[in-house]
Amino acid sequence: MREVKVVPYNEKWPEMFDAEAENLRKLLQEEIIEVYHIGSTAIPDMPAKPIIDVLVEVKNIHRIDDFTERLAVNGYRAFGENGIPGRRFFIKGTLSNRTHHIHMFQTGDHEIDRHLAFRDFLIANHHEALQYGALKKKLAQENPVDIEKYIQGKHDFIQTIDKMAAEWKKFV
Indicate the number of domains in the chain.
1
Question: Helix, strand or coil for residue 42?
Answer: helix
**What CATH number is attached to the domain comprising 135?**
3.30.460.10
Predicted pLDDT of residue 94 = 87
Q: Do the domain assignments include residue 6?
A: no
- Please give the model's pTM, rounded to 2 decimal places: 0.95
Q: Do the domain assignments include residue 42?
A: yes
Alpha helices in the chain, H assignment, sequence order: 13-28, 61-64, 68-73, 110-124, 126-142, 147-169
- Tens of pLDDT, residue by residue over 49-65, are 999 999 999 999 999 99
The dihedral built from the CA positions of residue 41, 82, 4 and 151, taken in this order, carries a sign that is: positive
Q: Do the domain assignments include residue 113?
A: yes
- Rounded to an integer, the average pLDDT of 101-120 is 98
pLDDT of 154 over the 80 cut: yes
DSSP one-letter code for 66: G
DSSP one-letter code for 156: H
CA-based end-to-end distance of the chain: 40
- Domain of 94 in residue numbering reads as 13-169
Percent of the chain with pLDDT over 90: 95
